Structure 1
Amino acid sequence: MNSVFRTDKGRIRTHNEDNGGIFFNSSSDCLAIVADGMGGHNAGDVASQITIESMRVQWQQASPIEDASHAEEWLKSTINLINERILMHSRDNQECNGMGTTLVTALCTNRFCTIANIGDSRCYLFNENGFAQVTEDHSLVNELVKSGEITKEEAEHHPRKNVLTRALGTDVHVTADYYTITFEQGNYLLLCSDGLSNKLARQDMQDILQTDLSIEEKADLFVQQANENGGEDNITLVILEHSAGLESG
């Protein structure tokens, strides 16, 4: 599996509250993560850092993933643990009160990927059927789209586009959505924060993945185009490419 992680503070923000990473365990299975932190006084980067570091440590200690149900169970227990840690840190550190983070994560073996998401960071799959969004945003505008109050086109420029209906670390009870997909030779997964998905049209994303560039050059091009299109937000992404080998790029 070829993989690459990139994060960039963008052209406007002075601080990067996004975080992420790609981690391989002893079974050569992969855990990819993108977290977009939020909260005053730069507390968002604390929430996203707690998320990434906790998942990394838990992943290193995890037993081999047997099947998709095992993957989902592991993700659920780990997400609940992280939620408790963020809430505890918020209680113990007044300057972090109210912080939280989005989360999109993909647990990938050479047979399947189980994806979990909370908030509006996304996962896309590119395979022989085309380029499609796997996850669903937990946001106010997405609820308005689903209820028919606004169109998808209106949602793109809605003034409350950044209002989330779910986040990690903001409530005692946290609910993620889970998806298991087949991941085969030549397929790509793209995980990203809204600093990328808000700046590039879906066709532009597909066009980049279809180029003959290396996976690292594709990642750099994503960041470059998001910045060229305004770069108002932090930009974070992971690309996973299913290949014959299982090694990090």
Structure 2
Amino acid sequence: MYVTDTGKVREHNEDDGGIFTNEAGDYLAVVADGMGGHQAGDVASSMTVNLLRSFWEPIQHSFSVEEAKHWLEEQIRQVNQYVYDQAASDQKMAGMGTTIVAAVCMRSYMVIAHVGDSRAYQISEHELNLITEDHSLVNELKQSGQLTEEEAKDHPRKNVLMRAVGTEPDVNIETVSLQWQIGDGLLLCSDGLTNKLEAEKIHEHLQAPGSLHERALSLIHTAKERGGEDNITLAVILQSSLEKEVE
């Protein structure tokens, strides 16, 4: 299930993403949060998602964990080079880039790759566990002890990224693999959601009654009620019934 919303302040939605099935019946979930002037953020995130989708959908066999990790890293490097080249060739796109969080989802495991501050969470019955670490200035300051958790929440440079897709000729990609079981789920989201809702509140919405789509829309509604200054995007896959839950 994938939903996105422009929010209450911005004129354009620079987020993109989706959940895509390949020929083998496996899933790729993607969320990208674009950045750059003159709508170039829209371009960077759209390019990233469309390229990954085109690479994924023709695949006819299931991956091992190592194959999935290698595939994600190689495809994101290709995307990075493409976006970087496009930005260099058109002044209107100069400086554009995007975050990326992408997950290959199989029956017994998932492999996540990310660059930037879009996040992945593992959903269980009792809690929401953050899988990724933000590649941001504020997170680095927090990790080094220069900022407390409370100071980091409202820091004026909170949106400064240390890594992004398309801004440099080379990109440093972080990957993680996890086993999952029936009852678990995966949430990918842009910071338009996590800047407005704590993990406990997100989990509360995801465990509420109603369809998965209704629960996702309630998350977007709450983020907008709390200001909605940024675009808000999330992709959710539940391990228990992939075919039924991916909409």
Q: Shared fold by TM > 0.5?
A: yes
The residue type equivalent to 2:113 in the other structure is A
Residue in 2 aligned with 1:235? 232
Establish whether residue 39 from structure 1 lines up as the match of residue 36 from structure 2: yes
Structure 1 residues 104 and 245, CA, compared in 2 at 3 Å: closer, same or farther? closer
The residue type equivalent to 2:148 in the other structure is T
Residue in 1 aligned with 2:46? 49
Q: CA deviation at 1:244?
A: 3.9
2:157 and 2:117 mapped to 1: Cα distance? 13
The residue type equivalent to 2:170 in the other structure is H
Residue in 1 aligned with 2:158? 161
**Moved segments of 4+, more than 6 Å:** none
Establish whether residue 30 from structure 1 lines up as the match of residue 36 from structure 2: no
Structure 1 residues 93 and 47, CA, compared in 2 at 3 Å: closer, same or farther? same
Count the aligned residue pairs: 246
Q: Tell whether the 8 Å contact from 1:104 to 1:118 is kept in structure 2 after alignment.
A: yes
Identity %: 45
What is the correspondence of 1:1-80 to structure 2 with a 5 Å cutoff?
4-80=1-77
Q: Which residues of structure 1 form unaligned runs of 5+? A: none
Other structure's SS at 2:243 match: coil
Q: CA deviation at 1:61?
A: 2.5
Establish whether residue 195 from structure 1 lines up as the match of residue 203 from structure 2: no
Q: CA deviation at 1:126?
A: 1.3
Q: Tell whether the 8 Å contact from 1:28 to 1:246 is kept in structure 2 after alignment.
A: no
2:71 and 2:59 mapped to 1: Cα distance? 8
The residue type equivalent to 1:179 in the other structure is V
Deviations 1:155-193 (A, max 9, x none): 000000000000000011101110101121111111100
Other structure's SS at 1:66 match: coil
2:210 to 208, 213, 218: 213
The residue type equivalent to 1:237 in the other structure is L
The residue type equivalent to 1:239 in the other structure is V
| Greater mean deviation of Cα atoms: 58-67 or 7-16 | 58-67
Q: CA deviation at 1:28?
A: 1.1
Residue in 1 aligned with 2:90? 93
Larger RCO: 1 or 2 (CA < 8 Å, sep 6+):
1
TM-score (norm: length of structure 2): 0.97
2:242 and 2:6 mapped to 1: Cα distance? 32
Deviations 1:111-143 (A, max 9, x none): 110001100000011125621100000000000
Q: CA deviation at 1:63?
A: 4.3
1:175 to 172, 175, 188: 172
2:34 and 2:242 mapped to 1: Cα distance? 33
TM-score (norm: length of structure 1): 0.96
Residue in 1 aligned with 2:146? 149
| Greater mean deviation of Cα atoms: 58-67 or 108-117 | 58-67
1:245 and 1:53 mapped to 2: Cα distance? 22
Q: Tell whether the 8 Å contact from 2:22 to 2:60 is kept in structure 1 after alignment.
A: no
Other structure's SS at 2:240 match: coil
1:63 and 1:51 mapped to 2: Cα distance? 22
1:61 and 1:24 mapped to 2: Cα distance? 9
Q: CA deviation at 1:65?
A: 3.0
Q: Tell whether the 8 Å contact from 2:96 to 2:166 is kept in structure 1 after alignment.
A: yes
1:106 to 103, 106, 112: 103
What value does the CA root-mean-square deviation take over the aligned residues? Answer: 1.1
Q: Which residues of structure 2 form unaligned runs of 5+? A: none
